[in-house]
Amino acid sequence: MSVISDVPVTTETEILIIGAGPAGLYGAYYAGFRGLRTAVMDVLPQAGGQVSAMYPEKPILDIAGFPAVKGRDLVDNLLAQAAPYEPAYLLGHRAVALSYDEDGLPVVRTDQGGTVRAGAVVVTGGIGTFTPRPLPCGEGHLGRGLVYFVPSPADHADRDVVVVGGGDSAFDWAATLAPLARSVRLVHRRDRFRAHKATVDTVRSLGVEIIVNAEVAALRGDGHVEAAEIRHLDGTARVLPAQTVVAALGFKADLGPLQSWGLDMSARHIAVDTRMATNLPRVFAAGDITDYPGKVRLISVGFGEVATAVNNAATVIDPEALLFPGHSTEKDA
């Protein structure tokens, strides 16, 4: 992987992809397949977007041709797929401003003082930057037993784990950690869950104790977490052993500077047409960040959208280029 990390960065490329999640990485492959020089920018320090940051070990079930693939493996495979075309990765760079040069080409400035001049821009920013909703009683133990992500489940082997939350992330972490941890308990303030029923059933079948109508009122321990105090809505309380507390309370999404670019947006999503083109010249978008009638937000849908965006961007960069260059199977091996 070619990684540009020195600042300031001044780069010229044919396609700039903003967002290094699955859609962006597939876009890097497809742009390379079309013979286009490509740069991929992301505010995170590693490729993979939400998949790498939030659920690298979680099996993903909606990728065509794979009954299940771990998030980490999916990202590694996407990087390997794009690698022969040598895209440049500008990781740890937030795209903050968009302007146009005298030739009408987009110029993107980063928060690190760099600029990227491109023939076209494809925004694949997912939900934008995301920050976890804090566990009110636990910030003093952050990094000392309290975590918001579980990038390496093995780190929590043989521990007593308390997972806080009732959504898919909470139940996914509980299911992932149950075979490794000494014990796993899930605490939710309601008796109904936002998580998919099948995931809830899986967690129950693994013997995880699900504690409802309760919340974590305090974390105990000098230095590292040793226990979690649980307070029920009826006023009763109990103390659970816990060396790891996973707070899966959701995330706050923020599109940040993108909202000032003049893009046609609503509810944190960018409006696109059937070409994945936005209202701005030479700017396209794909993946979860886009919106149009009938939109379905799946990783697999994002793959098709970014291929459409790249193909249409190619014809903007070179009006003589074909919209559809043919199938990859028709190329020389």
What is Dmax (Cα atoms) for the chain?
Answer: 73
pLDDT at 325: 81
Beta bridge partners of 253: 130
Tens digit of pLDDT for each residue in 212-242? Answer: 999 999 999 988 999 999 999 999 999 999 9
> In terms of residue numbers, what domain contains 139?
134-249
104 and 202, same domain (yes or no): no
Beta bridge partners of 184: 161
CA dihedral (143, 148, 150, 151) in degrees, to 10, reads: -80
pLDDT at 7: 44
CATH of the domain at 203: 3.50.50.60
Binding site as annotated, residues: 42, 50, 55, 95, 130, 288, 329
216 and 144, same domain (yes or no): yes
238 and 103, same domain (yes or no): no
Tens digit of pLDDT for each residue in 33-83? Answer: 999 999 999 988 889 888 887 777 778 888 999 999 988 899 999 999 999
Burial track 212-251 (b if 16+ CB lie within 10 A, e otherwise): eebbbeebeeeeebbbbbbbbeeeeeeebbbbbbbbbbeb
Q: What percent of the chain has pLDDT over 90?
A: 68
Half-sphere exposure of 89 (CA within 13 A, CB side): 25
18 and 105, same domain (yes or no): yes
pLDDT at 50: 80
Domain closes at, from 222, 249, 276: 249
231 and 295, same domain (yes or no): no
3-state SS, residue 96? strand
Q: Which residues contact 319 (CB under 8 A, 6 or more apart)?
A: none
Domain closes at, from 249, 279, 297: 249
139 and 234, same domain (yes or no): yes
115 and 17, same domain (yes or no): yes
49 and 146, same domain (yes or no): no
180 and 86, same domain (yes or no): no
77 and 112, same domain (yes or no): yes
Record the pTM: 0.76
Q: What angle do CA 252, 254, 258 make, to 5 degrees?
A: 170
Whether the Cβ atoms of residue 226 and residue 243 lie closer than 8 Å to each other? yes
Low-confidence ranges of the chain (pLDDT < 50): 7, 333
Binding site as annotated, residues for FAD: 42, 50, 55, 95, 130, 288, 329
pLDDT at 251: 75
Domain count, the chain: 2
